[in-house]
Amino acid sequence: MPVVDIAPSILEQRSRRDARHERLFRWLLKGCALIVLAALLGAAGATLWGGRDAFATFGWHFLVSSEWDPGNDVYGALVPVYGTIVTSLIALLIAVPISFGIALYLSEVAPAWLRTPVASAIELLAGIPSIIYGMWGLFIFAPFFADHIKPWLTSNLGNKPDDGKLSWVAQHVPFVGKLFGSDYPFGASILVAGIVLAIMVIPFISSVMREVFQTVPTRLKESAYALGSSTWEVSWDIVLPYTRSAVIGGIFLGLGRALGETMAVTFVLGNAMHLSASLLDPGTSIASTIANQFSEASGLQKSALMALAFLLFVVTFIVLLIARLMLRRLASKEGR
Amino acid sequence: MNSPYLRRRITNALAMLLSTLATLVGLAFLAWILWETLRRGISALDLKLFTKITAYGEDGGLANAMVGSLIINFIGIAIATPIGVLAGTWLAEYANRTKLGESIRFLNDILLSAPSIVMGLFVYTIIVLPSTALTHGSTSFSGFAGGVALALIALPVIVRTTDEMLRLVPSTLREAALSLGVPQWKLTLQILIRAARSGIITGVLLALARISGETAPLLFTAFGNNYMAINPIEKMSSLPQIIYQYANDPGDAMHALAWAGAFVITMFVLLLSLGSRLILSRTKVSHD
């Protein structure tokens, strides 16, 4: 039998070539991964750089001034910031209990054969593009709201009822009258934007909640059932405390989505640059101010819009950071 | 039956009822939105949508917007797919459990839900402004800039699915290849990515579904164009941008066109996400 003789130099050459390719490949992959980092840093840097004139001109006043006057070139962020925060909070107030209900239904209540189809249907909601929510809000929900819900709210809760008679609630409960008082005739308003946002974030929050509810060890739940707990008591006293941090993470994830949402909100906010205590009056948000004004803006106005974008980016970044940290805490508990 | 026992039962029944109700509310809104989009979209469907351009206004169609959307989405996916797959591979195969890897995985999750309008402004700053300055204003907004903006939104989706799918590949496969002396780059490209192929394709389809409805990042990048544009250095219109423009128009005929566009996008996105889910569920079964 002839012995195949491979010269050691060929082997060496080959292993050197492999090592070279390996190094190149590694650098290529790492470079691609660093693009993710570059995108985040770049977005923050570009908006900060674009907004430098506005920050330099107005300083801290930019954050607290409610004036937005392109005629006199004076800009303050308070009205859009207020609109962004209030619409997102309304969205969470509505979406969190409903999402919890959905997650509870899907993990404890529904019969097994119904769980997957219902869960996929709810997740379909997350797939619908935001502009569709915007159109639905503008052409269908806002008119419906103006015809059927708003009259009831203004006459039973508001301080500006059509017939001039203040309801008991408006007289005796502080703030409520102001929140629901409005003589503006259309549906587009901060409350409608909050409701549309709520529908948009429900699938995100509920799918996180459902996922983390399923990570609760069965023996924990079974022990509680064995002691005679009801389904509700198991959910409230065992499942929820066990998953608390991840549930909060899911809620913050929804908040991050709601804060940065542009199209759905722009359609139904009414685009009004003034501060009003009433939830039934039109308003604006950071994202919708940018969407409405950026293409026609120049000079200091453009810079002010960039500065708004920077604020939005920083705030959502912090919210999402908290969300991911909270979600991770449960994951590490699982791994232990 | 004593009263605390009864109270607990009533609380329980009430909670179960409310959770069922919450689910029904969610499903009702889904049905409402889909129903209106279907009803108004189908009644506005017409052959001229696909043959005429938006320059004719009420009598026109959406042909240029559809072509524009296809081109911009294609550019977005063509940029995001190689970068995203390679970055996801790095996270799963080379940087798993390293500090830098963990931080990038974490930041990628944040990029996943970052406000898309800010991504639009970012691309405006790095592509639209320089191209305006370099060409003395003859090119500014472009389909290419729109594609880059969409790529930034598609990227984290692809990175994440690639990363997750590769980590699902059994490590015996890696060990077997490495024990035969296969270098790691060859193992990654020829074995692991192939094993995770259907999952990665699903990620790309999901990313496509995600970007094809995006409007905000296109407003200041691709901008819009009432005429047919094929060259990506020109301004380009897209379906979402035309929907936005027409929905804000006072005319009813324009609203009908906007609904037709909304119907086309919704169908496209829903079919994509259903299709990718099917691929995923089929592969899961075949792995078992």
Q: Which residues pair with A68 in a beta bridge?
A: A75
- Exposure string of B240-268, with b = 16+ CB inside 10 Å and e = fewer, is bbbbbbbbeeeeeebbbbbbbbbbbbbeb
Dump pLDDT digits (tens) for A286-296: 999 999 999 88
End-to-end CA distance of chain A: 57
The verdict on B10 touching A (C-beta cutoff 8 Å) is no
- CA B213 to chain CA centroid, nearest Å: 7
Pick among B12, B62, B117 to test the A interface (most A CBs inside 10 A): B117
Q: Give the type of residue at A34.
A: L
* A192–chain B nearest CA distance, Å: 14
Between positions 42 and 81 of B, the ones with CB within 8 A of A are: none
CB contact under 8 A, B23 and A118: yes
Reported ipTM: the value is 0.91
Pick among A15, A20, A32, A313 to test the B interface (most B CBs inside 10 A): A32
Dump pLDDT digits (tens) for B81-109: 999 999 999 999 999 889 999 999 999 99
| pLDDT over 70 at A42, yes or no | yes
Pick among A29, A87, A100, A289 to test the B interface (most B CBs inside 10 A): A29
| pLDDT over 70 at A277, yes or no | yes
End-to-end CA distance of chain B: 50
Dump pLDDT digits (tens) for A199-225: 999 999 999 999 999 889 999 999 999
**What's the average model confidence in pLDDT over B219-246?**
91
Residues contacting residue B118 through CB under 8 Å, at least 6 positions apart: A43, A47, A260, A309, A312, A313
- Count CB neighbours of A129 within 10 A: 25
Q: CA-to-CA distance for A166 and A138, rounded, in angstroms? A: 30
CB contact under 8 A, A135 and B247: yes
* A150–chain B nearest CA distance, Å: 19
Dump pLDDT digits (tens) for A141-178: 999 999 999 888 888 888 777 777 777 777 777 777 77
Pick among B20, B33, B128 to test the A interface (most A CBs inside 10 A): B33
Q: Give the type of residue at A2.
A: P
Residue B12 pLDDT grade (very low, low, confident, very high; cuts 50, 70, 90): very high
Dump pLDDT digits (tens) for B177-216: 999 988 889 899 999 999 999 889 999 999 999 999 999 9
Residues of chain A found within 8 Å of residue B91, distances taken between Cβ atoms: 33
Spell out the SS3 assignment of A306-335: HHHHHHHHHHHHHHHHHHHHHHHHHHHHHH
Between positions 93 and 112 of B, the ones with CB within 8 A of A are: 93-95, 101, 104, 106-111
Give the global pTM. Answer: 0.91
* A74–chain B nearest CA distance, Å: 22
* A171–chain B nearest CA distance, Å: 31
Indicate the residue of A36, A118, A133 with minimum beta-carbon distance to B107: A36
Dump pLDDT digits (tens) for A105-117: 999 889 999 998 9
CB contact under 8 A, B118 and A47: yes
Give the CA-trace dihedral at B97, B99, B103, B104, to 10 degrees.
Answer: -70
Residue B3 pLDDT grade (very low, low, confident, very high; cuts 50, 70, 90): confident
* B177–chain A nearest CA distance, Å: 15
**Triad A28, A31, A37: Cα angle to 5°:** 160
CB contact under 8 A, B111 and A39: yes
* A213–chain B nearest CA distance, Å: 15
CB contact under 8 A, B125 and A46: yes
The DSSP H or E segment spanning B3 is helix B3-44
Residue A4 pLDDT grade (very low, low, confident, very high; cuts 50, 70, 90): low
In degrees rounded to 5, what are phi and psi of residue B237? Answer: -95, 165
pLDDT score at B58:
84
Locate the chain B residue with the closest alpha carbon to A135. B247
Residue A6 pLDDT grade (very low, low, confident, very high; cuts 50, 70, 90): low
pLDDT score at B283:
63
Residue A132 pLDDT grade (very low, low, confident, very high; cuts 50, 70, 90): very high
Rg (C-alpha) for chain B, rounded Å, is: 24
**What's the average model confidence in pLDDT over B107-135?**
92
Dump pLDDT digits (tens) for B160-183: 999 999 999 998 999 999 999 888
